[in-house]
Amino acid sequence: MKKLGFGTMRLPLLDADDTASIDFDQTSKMADMFFERGFTYVDTAYPYHSEHSEEAVKKCITDRFPRERFFLADKMPILRVTGPDQYQGYFDTQRKRCGTEYFDNYLLHNLGRDRYINTEKFGGFAFMEKMKKAGNIRNIGFSFHDDAETLDRILTDHPEVDFVQLQINYLDWEDAVTQSGKCYETATKHGKPVVVMEPVKGGTLASLPEVAAGYFRDHYLAQGLTEGSLPTPASLAIRFAASLPNVMMVLSGMSSIGQMDDNTGYMQDFKPLAEGEKALTKKISGYMREKIRVACTSCRYCTEVCPQNINIPGYFGLLNLHAITGKKTVMYYERYSMNRGKAGDCLKCGLCEQNCPQHLPIRDHLKEFAALYEEDQKS
């Protein structure tokens, strides 16, 4: 298979403030381009787009293409499972939503130290093995957000898994929390192929800050390219992940036909990073790691459980923008907070932090954001 996968976590929307308002027409056109250019891997999950991503897969892909035309991956929402008898119900719902009898890849979703305990208790791996033997799953695995030590433990306990899905990008490669590099090496040690998620870190590596964008531009101009023929920053990030020898697939959560056109364009005839490009990723990441305030990927797992409906990823994006530029953008704050809770409305319940794959101190950052953007409103 070609190494680019269609991630359905950030599909185009009809209403930017409503994640359930998927633009099915544009998504269908994106799927057409994806398959026409020889790509096949589609990834979805139960909670994506307020539980409408699987519906989009059915409407835009499963109902429109022969099942053998594409490779479909879905994930068990283990956060919602509170007993062993619930796995089958979720699984059957997902097959119905996606319009398929089987999944090519099926994963335990967002496995980490705490969730692994309950998954073991409730028999999550055994359930997947049962479905695999019944022909309802072709390959079993899990997506993972935790440290390399925990990953090593899980893979040691469960050598039966066929693959793992990891957050890998050049900004997180040496990060002490995400441990992209160490986790990749652990999966490789266990002989498990890797599917990559968040290769552009929620868009962070697609829209580089001015200084980093200058590094990017200067590098390619020095290679003899012209202003009109420069690659996109997203292409560098995705090719970084795809260049790793043990990576079998790189997922991209594309949100427009333009992004689909760009990504499938350079990944049709994939070329691994040259040595100069590897040095460029280190230069950009070194600068950005000094500037970025919050390592948020905008996965929105936090907003799923926030009782105050606070737009946490939006606010953290503004914190990062302020850290890089020194400027506040009130217009975006007004948009991000419209019909949503303010940062100062945080109840400090901690549910967001329990659900955060990046293990961010969300409550502290919300307090910081409120001081920056909302204190003036109180006076």
30 with 70, same domain: the answer is yes
8 with 67, same domain: the answer is yes
Residue 70 lies in a domain: yes
Q: What is the pLDDT of residues 136-192, one digit of tens each?
A: 999 999 999 888 999 999 999 999 999 999 999 999 898 776 789 999 999 999 999
Spatial neighbors of 8 by CB under 8 A, at least 6 apart, are: 42, 43, 44, 48, 49, 53, 56, 57, 253
Residue 293 lies in a domain: no
CA atoms within 13 A on the CB side of 112: 15
Tell me, what CATH number does 108's domain have? 3.20.20.100
Q: What is the pLDDT of residues 40-96, one digit of tens each?
A: 999 999 999 999 999 999 999 999 999 999 999 999 999 999 999 999 999 999 999
80 with 204, same domain: the answer is yes
49 with 190, same domain: the answer is yes
238 with 329, same domain: the answer is no
Q: C-alpha angle 273/278/360, rounded to 5°? A: 110
Q: What is the pLDDT of residues 296-354, one digit of tens each?
A: 988 989 999 999 999 999 899 889 878 876 778 787 788 788 889 999 999 999 999 99
The model carries a pTM of 0.83
Q: Cα separation of 342 and 157, whole Å?
A: 43
- Count of structural domains, the chain: 2
306 with 284, same domain: the answer is no
Last residue of a domain, which of 265, 288, 311?
A: 288
Q: What band does 377 get if pLDDT is binned at 50, 70 and 90?
A: low
262 with 333, same domain: the answer is no
336 with 266, same domain: the answer is no
Q: What is the pLDDT of residue 379?
A: 41
Residue 322 lies in a domain: yes
282 with 308, same domain: the answer is no
Residue 294 lies in a domain: no
264 with 365, same domain: the answer is no
Last residue of a domain, which of 288, 316, 341?
A: 288
Structural domain harbouring 42: 4-288
Residue 93 lies in a domain: yes
107 with 200, same domain: the answer is yes
Nearest to 132 by CA among 154, 163, 156, 157: 163
- Tell me the residue type at 134: A
208 with 356, same domain: the answer is no
Nearest to 311 by CA among 264, 357, 362: 362
Q: Cα separation of 77 and 108, whole Å?
A: 7
Strand duo 163-167 + 4-7: pairing: unpaired
Last residue of a domain, which of 288, 321, 337?
A: 288
Name the helix (H) or strand (E) containing 260: helix 257-267
Strand duo 71-76 + 103-111: pairing: parallel
